[in-house]
């Protein structure tokens, strides 16, 4: 595992970050990347509506902008009908809500979203999944993939998902405070991803570790 949590540290490749600092890394991400919590709320509303919403185009634009690739949204919306986008998102949500290995379900969800023209790369597609289902879905960003040797592929996303899901469970079990304010102090895979990205982002020199 490239990403893991033990009793004392967040292990990220060859780095070990004292576990008490994971909270600060998530806070740093929230400060540097605006709109995360608002986008999660939008994703939840779309899920509740099963994507039959006129807010779907705006959601796609906002997620692409959040991820630093605002232009991707235009290509996605130009080359796929809203009916097709909604259908692929419904398929991905069904996979994520099914029983079985969560990381394997993430791959099924990724494959559904990858059918959309313009979202065929894991980095772009997993940003959409992250806001549709943050409990299970991290972002396989190219920086994360390169820094921690996760292949930029469905197999790499499966590995990274499994690591983030496992780390989230460990952080919750240890009672580490989550700045995202989840019910019962829970940690999601997306929260772990935020901490990991904050270690290696261009603005990571501001981080405490």
In a domain, 182, yes or no: no
Unique residue bearing structure tokens 């398929």 = 91
65: in domain: yes
* Average confidence (pLDDT) over 93-102: 95
Q: How confident is the model at residue 208 (pLDDT cuts 50, 70, 90)?
A: very low
Q: Cβ distance 193 to 139 under 8 Å?
A: yes
* pLDDT given for residue 76 in this prediction: 95
| 2 occurs within a structural domain | no
> Is residue 39 scored above 90 in pLDDT?
yes
What is the pLDDT, as a whole number, of residue 206? 47
Query: Which of 10-14, 116-120, 162-166 shows the lowest per-residue confidence on average (mean pLDDT)?
Result: 116-120
Q: Where are the extended beta strands (E) located within 7-157?
A: 9-12, 15-18
Q: Are 64 and 101 in contact (CB under 8 A)?
A: no
Region of poorest pLDDT, from 6-10, 64-68, 117-121:
117-121
Distance CA 93, CA 105 (A): 9
pLDDT range class, residue 205, cuts 50, 70, 90: low
Q: What is the DSSP letter of 121?
A: S
List Cα–Cα distances, 34 to 66, 134, 177, 190, in angstroms.
7, 16, 20, 15
Q: Residue 28 domain-assigned?
A: no
Domain boundaries, position 106 = 33-175
pTM for this model (two decimals): 0.95
Please count the structural domains in the chain.
Answer: 1
Look at residues 179, 186, 207, 188 and name the one whose alpha carbon lies nearest to residue 32. Answer: 207
Task: Identify whether 107 is part of a domain.
Answer: yes
Domain assignment present for 11: no
Structural domain contains residue 81: yes
Assess whether pLDDT exceeds 90 at residue 52: no
Give domain status of residue 170, yes or no.
yes
φ/ψ of 98, rounded to 5, equals -75, 175
Helix (H) or strand (E) holding 3: strand 3-5
Which pLDDT band holds residue 209 (cuts at 50, 70, 90)? very low
């Amino acid at each position: 595992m490239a990403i893991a949590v033990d009793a004392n540290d967040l292990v990220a490749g060859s780095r070990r970050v004292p576990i008490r600092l994971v909270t600060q890394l998530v806070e740093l991400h929230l400060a540097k990347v605006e709109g995360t919590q608002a986008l999660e709320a939008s994703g939840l509303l779309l899920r509740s509506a099963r994507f039959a919403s006129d807010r779907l185009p705006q959601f796609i634009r906002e997620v692409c902008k959040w991820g630093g690739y605002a232009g991707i949204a235009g290509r996605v919306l130009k080359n796929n009908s809203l009916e097709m986008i909604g259908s692929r998102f419904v398929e991905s949500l069904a996979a994520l809500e099914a029983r079985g290995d969560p990381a394997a379900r993430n791959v099924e969800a990724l494959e559904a979203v990858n059918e959309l023209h313009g979202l065929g790369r894991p980095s772009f597609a997993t940003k959409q999944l992250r806001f549709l289902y943050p409990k299970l879905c991290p972002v396989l960003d190219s920086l994360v993939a390169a820094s921690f040797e996760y292949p930029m592929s469905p197999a790499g996303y499966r590995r990274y998902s499994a690591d983030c899901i496992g780390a989230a469970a460990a952080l919750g079990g240890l009672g580490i405070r989550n700045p995202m304010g989840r019910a019962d102090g829970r940690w999601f895979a997306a929260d772990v991803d935020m901490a990991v990205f904050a270690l290696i982002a261009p603005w990571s020199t501001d981080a405490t570790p």
